[in-house]
Amino acid sequence: MTKLERGPFMAKNYTKNLIKQEFIKLLNKKSLHNITVTEIAKQCKIERKTFYYHYENLPQLVKEIFDEELEDVIEEFNETLSWEESFISATKFILENKKVVKHMYESDYKVELEKYIFSISGEIMRKYVRRVAKDTKAQEIDIKLIAFFYQCALSSSLIQWVATDMKTDPKLVTRRWGELMDGNILEALKRSENLEKLTQNFEIE
Protein backbone atom coordinates (compact mmCIF):
# COMPACT_ATOMS: atom_id res chain seq x y z
CA MET A 1 0.00 0.00 0.00
CA THR A 2 1.45 3.38 -1.03
CA LYS A 3 1.40 6.49 1.17
CA LEU A 4 -1.33 7.98 -1.01
CA GLU A 5 -3.45 4.83 -0.58
CA ARG A 6 -2.70 4.59 3.12
CA GLY A 7 -4.10 8.06 3.90
CA PRO A 8 -7.74 7.41 2.85
CA PHE A 9 -7.57 3.89 4.27
CA MET A 10 -6.47 5.13 7.71
CA ALA A 11 -9.10 7.87 7.67
CA LYS A 12 -11.83 5.37 6.80
CA ASN A 13 -10.59 2.96 9.49
CA TYR A 14 -10.56 5.77 12.08
CA THR A 15 -14.14 6.77 11.28
CA LYS A 16 -15.42 3.18 11.43
CA ASN A 17 -13.71 2.61 14.78
CA LEU A 18 -15.18 5.87 16.09
CA ILE A 19 -18.67 4.80 15.03
CA LYS A 20 -18.27 1.45 16.78
CA GLN A 21 -16.91 3.04 19.95
CA GLU A 22 -19.71 5.59 20.21
CA PHE A 23 -22.34 2.98 19.39
CA ILE A 24 -21.07 0.78 22.25
CA LYS A 25 -21.06 3.78 24.61
CA LEU A 26 -24.70 4.47 23.73
CA LEU A 27 -25.58 0.80 24.13
CA ASN A 28 -24.15 0.91 27.65
CA LYS A 29 -26.72 3.56 28.48
CA LYS A 30 -29.88 2.56 26.64
CA SER A 31 -31.62 -0.30 24.86
CA LEU A 32 -30.74 -0.91 21.22
CA HIS A 33 -34.18 -0.10 19.81
CA ASN A 34 -33.83 3.42 21.25
CA ILE A 35 -30.58 4.10 19.40
CA THR A 36 -30.77 5.77 15.99
CA VAL A 37 -28.25 6.45 13.24
CA THR A 38 -28.85 10.16 13.82
CA GLU A 39 -27.82 9.81 17.47
CA ILE A 40 -24.70 7.82 16.60
CA ALA A 41 -23.71 10.42 14.01
CA LYS A 42 -24.22 13.21 16.55
CA GLN A 43 -22.02 11.44 19.11
CA CYS A 44 -19.31 10.97 16.46
CA LYS A 45 -19.68 14.56 15.23
CA ILE A 46 -20.24 13.32 11.69
CA GLU A 47 -23.12 13.57 9.24
CA ARG A 48 -25.67 10.78 8.77
CA LYS A 49 -24.45 10.24 5.22
CA THR A 50 -20.96 9.52 6.61
CA PHE A 51 -22.41 6.70 8.68
CA TYR A 52 -24.15 5.28 5.62
CA TYR A 53 -20.93 5.56 3.64
CA HIS A 54 -19.41 2.97 6.01
CA TYR A 55 -22.49 0.92 6.95
CA GLU A 56 -25.73 0.15 5.17
CA ASN A 57 -27.65 0.01 8.46
CA LEU A 58 -27.36 -0.81 12.17
CA PRO A 59 -27.51 -4.61 11.63
CA GLN A 60 -24.37 -4.42 9.50
CA LEU A 61 -22.63 -2.43 12.25
CA VAL A 62 -23.60 -5.00 14.90
CA LYS A 63 -22.45 -7.87 12.69
CA GLU A 64 -19.07 -6.25 12.09
CA ILE A 65 -18.53 -5.76 15.82
CA PHE A 66 -19.17 -9.46 16.47
CA ASP A 67 -17.04 -10.52 13.47
CA GLU A 68 -14.08 -8.45 14.65
CA GLU A 69 -14.36 -9.72 18.21
CA LEU A 70 -14.39 -13.29 16.88
CA GLU A 71 -11.28 -12.57 14.79
CA ASP A 72 -9.53 -11.33 17.94
CA VAL A 73 -10.44 -14.57 19.74
CA ILE A 74 -8.93 -16.61 16.90
CA GLU A 75 -5.75 -14.51 16.71
CA GLU A 76 -5.17 -14.35 20.47
CA PHE A 77 -5.69 -18.05 21.21
CA ASN A 78 -2.91 -19.23 23.51
CA GLU A 79 -2.09 -22.94 23.23
CA THR A 80 -0.43 -22.96 26.66
CA LEU A 81 -3.68 -22.16 28.50
CA SER A 82 -6.28 -24.57 29.82
CA TRP A 83 -9.64 -24.62 28.04
CA GLU A 84 -11.28 -22.75 30.93
CA GLU A 85 -8.70 -19.92 30.94
CA SER A 86 -8.94 -19.72 27.14
CA PHE A 87 -12.72 -19.44 27.38
CA ILE A 88 -12.51 -16.71 30.02
CA SER A 89 -10.07 -14.80 27.81
CA ALA A 90 -12.31 -15.27 24.76
CA THR A 91 -15.35 -13.86 26.57
CA LYS A 92 -13.52 -10.68 27.59
CA PHE A 93 -15.78 -8.46 25.44
CA ILE A 94 -18.91 -9.94 27.04
CA LEU A 95 -17.60 -9.70 30.61
CA GLU A 96 -16.43 -6.11 30.16
CA ASN A 97 -19.60 -4.94 28.42
CA LYS A 98 -22.42 -6.53 30.40
CA LYS A 99 -24.97 -3.78 29.73
CA VAL A 100 -24.16 -3.81 26.01
CA VAL A 101 -24.62 -7.57 25.87
CA LYS A 102 -27.81 -7.45 27.91
CA HIS A 103 -29.32 -4.80 25.64
CA MET A 104 -28.37 -6.83 22.57
CA TYR A 105 -29.91 -9.95 24.08
CA GLU A 106 -33.16 -8.09 24.68
CA SER A 107 -33.27 -6.76 21.11
CA ASP A 108 -33.81 -8.06 17.60
CA TYR A 109 -30.10 -8.92 17.56
CA LYS A 110 -30.45 -11.70 20.12
CA VAL A 111 -29.77 -14.38 17.49
CA GLU A 112 -26.58 -12.61 16.37
CA LEU A 113 -25.37 -12.53 19.97
CA GLU A 114 -26.12 -16.22 20.44
CA LYS A 115 -24.28 -17.08 17.20
CA TYR A 116 -21.28 -15.07 18.42
CA ILE A 117 -21.21 -16.90 21.77
CA PHE A 118 -21.57 -20.27 20.03
CA SER A 119 -18.74 -19.36 17.64
CA ILE A 120 -16.21 -18.29 20.28
CA SER A 121 -17.01 -21.40 22.33
CA GLY A 122 -16.40 -23.53 19.26
CA GLU A 123 -13.12 -21.83 18.34
CA ILE A 124 -11.73 -22.41 21.82
CA MET A 125 -12.84 -26.01 22.23
CA ARG A 126 -11.92 -27.20 18.72
CA LYS A 127 -8.38 -25.89 19.08
CA TYR A 128 -7.98 -27.14 22.64
CA VAL A 129 -9.30 -30.66 21.95
CA ARG A 130 -7.12 -30.99 18.84
CA ARG A 131 -4.09 -29.96 20.88
CA VAL A 132 -4.80 -32.64 23.50
CA ALA A 133 -5.60 -35.19 20.77
CA LYS A 134 -2.05 -34.96 19.39
CA ASP A 135 -0.91 -37.34 22.14
CA THR A 136 -3.60 -39.90 21.31
CA LYS A 137 -4.86 -41.94 18.39
CA ALA A 138 -8.41 -40.69 18.77
CA GLN A 139 -10.71 -40.99 15.80
CA GLU A 140 -11.38 -37.77 13.89
CA ILE A 141 -15.14 -37.95 14.42
CA ASP A 142 -14.67 -38.35 18.16
CA ILE A 143 -12.37 -35.33 18.30
CA LYS A 144 -15.15 -33.32 16.67
CA LEU A 145 -17.83 -34.82 18.93
CA ILE A 146 -15.94 -33.98 22.13
CA ALA A 147 -15.25 -30.41 21.01
CA PHE A 148 -18.89 -30.00 19.95
CA PHE A 149 -20.15 -31.30 23.31
CA TYR A 150 -18.09 -28.74 25.23
CA GLN A 151 -18.98 -26.01 22.75
CA CYS A 152 -22.69 -26.60 23.36
CA ALA A 153 -22.24 -26.77 27.14
CA LEU A 154 -20.19 -23.57 27.37
CA SER A 155 -22.28 -21.51 24.95
CA SER A 156 -25.59 -22.60 26.50
CA SER A 157 -24.33 -21.78 29.99
CA LEU A 158 -23.09 -18.34 28.93
CA ILE A 159 -26.34 -17.53 27.12
CA GLN A 160 -28.29 -18.60 30.20
CA TRP A 161 -26.04 -16.36 32.33
CA VAL A 162 -26.88 -13.41 30.07
CA ALA A 163 -30.58 -14.25 30.23
CA THR A 164 -30.63 -14.38 34.05
CA ASP A 165 -29.22 -10.92 34.83
CA MET A 166 -25.56 -12.02 35.08
CA LYS A 167 -25.60 -12.33 38.86
CA THR A 168 -23.06 -15.14 39.24
CA ASP A 169 -19.34 -14.78 38.51
CA PRO A 170 -18.74 -16.66 35.21
CA LYS A 171 -14.98 -16.76 35.79
CA LEU A 172 -15.45 -18.52 39.12
CA VAL A 173 -17.95 -21.00 37.66
CA THR A 174 -15.80 -21.74 34.60
CA ARG A 175 -12.71 -22.39 36.71
CA ARG A 176 -14.78 -24.63 38.98
CA TRP A 177 -15.88 -26.66 35.95
CA GLY A 178 -12.24 -26.95 34.97
CA GLU A 179 -11.37 -28.44 38.34
CA LEU A 180 -14.35 -30.80 38.38
CA MET A 181 -13.75 -32.07 34.85
CA ASP A 182 -9.96 -32.06 34.87
CA GLY A 183 -8.62 -34.82 32.64
CA ASN A 184 -12.01 -35.75 31.16
CA ILE A 185 -11.15 -34.62 27.64
CA LEU A 186 -7.93 -36.65 27.51
CA GLU A 187 -9.70 -39.72 28.92
CA ALA A 188 -12.48 -39.41 26.36
CA LEU A 189 -9.93 -39.16 23.55
CA LYS A 190 -8.14 -42.26 24.83
CA ARG A 191 -11.42 -44.20 24.91
CA SER A 192 -11.92 -43.28 21.27
CA GLU A 193 -8.89 -45.36 20.34
CA ASN A 194 -10.71 -48.57 21.30
CA LEU A 195 -14.16 -47.77 19.97
CA GLU A 196 -15.55 -49.14 16.74
CA LYS A 197 -15.50 -46.74 13.83
CA LEU A 198 -18.79 -45.01 13.10
CA THR A 199 -20.30 -46.08 9.81
CA GLN A 200 -22.67 -43.13 9.63
CA ASN A 201 -21.19 -40.07 7.97
CA PHE A 202 -22.23 -36.75 9.46
CA GLU A 203 -20.77 -33.28 9.84
CA ILE A 204 -20.32 -31.28 13.03
CA GLU A 205 -19.63 -27.56 12.86
Same domain? For 47 and 105 the reply is no
Same domain? For 90 and 190 the reply is yes
Burial of 205 (0-12, 13-18, 19+ CB in 10 A): exposed
Number of domains in the chain: 2
Same domain? For 68 and 48 the reply is no
Q: What percent of the chain shows pLDDT beyond 90?
A: 67
Same domain? For 109 and 201 the reply is yes
Largest CA distance in the chain: 65
Q: What is the CATH number for 2? A: 1.10.10.60
Query: Could you tell me the pLDDT band of residue 188, with boundaries at 50, 70 and 90?
Result: very high
Same domain? For 138 and 159 the reply is yes
Quick one: DSSP state of residue 33?
A: G
Q: Which residues contact 112 (CB under 8 A, 6 or more apart)?
A: 59, 62, 63, 66, 104
Same domain? For 106 and 198 the reply is yes
Same domain? For 86 and 162 the reply is yes
Same domain? For 36 and 115 the reply is no
HSE-CB for 77 with a 13 A CA cutoff: 17
Query: Could you tell me the pLDDT band of residue 201, with boundaries at 50, 70 and 90?
Result: low
Range of the domain at 81: 61-205
Q: Per residue in 113-144, pLDDT tens?
A: 999 999 999 999 999 999 999 989 999 999 99
Domain end marker among 55, 77, 92 = 55
Between the CA atoms of 74, 76, 78 and 84, what dihedral angle is there, to the nearest 10 degrees? -70
Query: Could you tell me the pLDDT band of residue 75, with boundaries at 50, 70 and 90?
Result: confident
pTM of structure: 0.85
Nearest-angstrom CA–CA distance, 70 and 81: 18
